[in-house]
Amino acid sequence: MDSLRETLTRVANERGFVLVGFARLHPLSEREDFYRQWLAVGGHASMTYLAKDPERRFDPRRLDSRYRSVVSLGYPYAPHATPKVDWRGEMRGRIAAYALGRDYHDVVKKGARSVGNVIRQLRPGSITRTYVDTGPVFEREWASQSRIGWFGKNTMILNRDHGSYFFLAEIFTDVEFEATTEPYREHCGTCRRCLDLCPTGALADGYVMRSDLCISYQTIENRGAIPRELRSKLGNWIFGCDICNAVCPWNDEHAADGNADDLLPLLPELLALSDEEFGLRFTVSAVKRAKRRGLLRNVAVVLGNTGNPEAVAPLARSIEAESEPLIRSHAAWALGQIGGSAARRALERALRDHDTAVRREATAALETN
């Protein structure tokens, strides 16, 4: 078994996984009360799939009674320091570092499956099943059980050598592996940077995440209107958020210089994307999860947050030509944030919009303009 473990570790490293751990499966009874209470208070917001058959999450053997162990993998991604640009003046939004390049689901799952294939090759007749941010699996809990890191206050798995800039993958199998090291010691200590510097207060003591307050949730998973009280707090984030990663001391040494056009795309260009152009630009990117209407909704909000008078023209064009009411309504809000006579004229025209939400946002914007 040690030989198999060593072979899997070597193969995983060759496939780009910098962290490899093993654990025997058992019921995660210590997480059950926490998770049920989190669901009860609506911590999952509109992500109803998180509340579906929660029992499956507490023990993977409910998914397949043959499972005995899990191999946990950590795949690094390159964090990027924010380029020194005036995002308000240049009208640039920001994309979370993990979403740059090809969709991590495809890249990481392909690598993890190749590791799982080795198990079946060396143990003929064995079974494996791979998860990468998919399925009813407590990924972080099993990563912790596999001793590849500790559960940080930002609710992510942290590792002393790699910070939190890595994706998790799990291979469940009927082959029996034991964890070979002591549990990974917690190294957050008294640090509270992630909790105190979250713009929306989404993180709370006790390793609690309020999804409805999280910028990543609002810009990706929320399919409807972004609550007005949160819009200005988005800053320039149009897809995801890196703040609780970036402020973590364990990530201080991992940031590299970033490309402005990748990390900070031009907002007017994005707001003008057609369905076809959106598909061409983001078809292999994780950004496609937000869909065009979600991304352009976010873009409209961030244009409002720039306060830049030059943003009025693209926002006004969006209200006139955009087919999605969700985007038009947020463009109306944004015009109210910028103000001025040109914005007011565009909002007055929006009062004739056939969609109630657009008219409501235009009315509210005019009242404060």
User: Annotated catalytic sites, by residue?
Assistant: 133
Handedness of CA 103, 220, 330, 198 (dihedral sign): negative
CA atoms lying within 13 Å on the CB side of residue 73? 31
Provide the pairing of β-strand 208-209 with 203-204.
antiparallel
Q: How many whole angstroms separate alpha carbon 234 and alpha carbon 102? A: 25
Residue with tokens 């911590």, as numbered in its chain? 43
Name the 3-class secondary structure at 341: helix
CB 68 within 8 A of CB 26: no
Q: How many whole angstroms separate alpha carbon 114 and alpha carbon 109? A: 9
What count of other Cβ atoms lies within 10 Å of the Cβ of residue 250? 22
**CA-based max dimension of the chain:** 74
At position 333, the amino acid (one-letter code) is W
H-run or E-run covering 203: strand 203-204
Residue count of the chain: 369
